[in-house]
Amino acid sequence: MPSWSLLEVAIEPRSASDADLLNTALSGLVANDSQLGFARDKESGLFLLGGMSENHLDVAITRLRDSDSVQFTVGAPQVAYREQIGRAVRIDYVHKRMIGPEYAKVVIDFAPAKEGTGFTFENKAGGAVPSEFVPGVEKGLEIARQNGVRAGFPLIDCTATLVDGAYHDIDSSPRTFQIAAQGAVRELKEKGDVQLAEPVMTVELVAPEKFIGVIVSDLHSRRGVIQDQRVSDGTAALSAAVPLANMFGYVNILNRISDGRGTYTMQFREYRTIPLPDDDPPFPPAIGMRA
């Protein structure tokens, strides 16, 4: 699933044959819309379709239904949360099995990165990890960070630098280094201060001045923060930063509180960390909460 997807819906095929047809249909949708993406959960068999807004996903689902080639059910849209590390940390991880046998050691520096940079990997281990094993490290990091550390959501805005390691002439392979890298990412749960991050949107809104009080009050109830507000000739315009999770169905709410005279646009602003509930982990596996 693309890391930039803001909303996701779970799609369940009615039968095994429908699963193959759905995979083909979703591939066609994604090929024609670069802002869509999809992935399949191996355990549940559900497909996850990701997009940028409720309307964006509604249009995509309508296209799927109109094809009449596949039967499926669709879950409610869910926010595509992400995970971020809160501090720089060095992880020293050894994968070792006596049966096999298998051996790989990695020492990786993880650090928070600038917002929007995603996930980057750099190799500074030199001869400590032979070059033929480095792709295994990179693959392991990518798999683990996509699966998340705390709540099953992708880890973003993070750098991983391989600084040291060790290998065995016979017992090491790209696969053993992949496993070691995945183990290093798992240890971030306890050592990396991993936090949940939610998408925050910039909402630009225009309505008659007489409705602006109730509109602002409603946005505050949605954890919105007013960024700018102007009034001219009886018309008010405002800008607010509002968590996407609190904007579902807002078009209907705005119509009701403005007598149908308010309009708004919404675009992605940033990912912002939010406190984890006391009963951590806060969610079941991410695929479960999205279904």
The CATH number given to whatever domain includes residue 11 is 3.30.70.870
162 and 140 in a common domain: yes
256 and 207 in a common domain: yes
Q: Greater confidence, 41 or 169? A: 169
Among 160, 193, 226, the domain boundary falls at: 193
State what percent of residues in the chain have pLDDT above 70.
92
96 and 49 in a common domain: no
**Element containing residue 97 per DSSP (H, E):** strand 89-97
88 and 74 in a common domain: no
Note the pLDDT of residue 3. 55
Eight-class DSSP state of 155: B
Domain of residue 223 covers: 198-273
180 and 90 in a common domain: yes
Burial group, residue 158, by CB count within 10 angstroms (0-12, 13-18, 19+)? buried
Among 51, 80, 109, the domain boundary falls at: 80
92 and 176 in a common domain: yes
Eight-class DSSP state of 162: E
223 and 155 in a common domain: no
- Structurally, the chain folds into a number of domains equal to 3
187 and 116 in a common domain: yes
3-state secondary structure of 152: coil
**Element containing residue 200 per DSSP (H, E):** strand 195-208
Give the confidence band of 242 by pLDDT, cuts at 50, 70, 90. Answer: very high
231 and 267 in a common domain: yes
Report how far residue 246's alpha carbon sits from residue 42's, in angstroms, rounded to the nearest whole number. Answer: 30
233 and 219 in a common domain: yes
| Total-model pTM | 0.77
Residue-wise pLDDT tens digits, 192-211: 999 999 999 999 999 999 99
Report how far residue 241's alpha carbon sits from residue 227's, in angstroms, rounded to the nearest whole number. Answer: 7
C-alpha separations of 233 from 10, 217, 255, 258 in Å: 46, 22, 21, 17
Question: Please, are residues 155 and 149 in contact by the beta-carbon 8 Å criterion?
Answer: yes
Residue 285 lies in a domain: no
Does 13 score more than 80 pLDDT?
Answer: yes
Report how far residue 235's alpha carbon sits from residue 209's, in angstroms, rounded to the nearest whole number. Answer: 5
CATH number of the domain at 131, please.
3.30.230.10
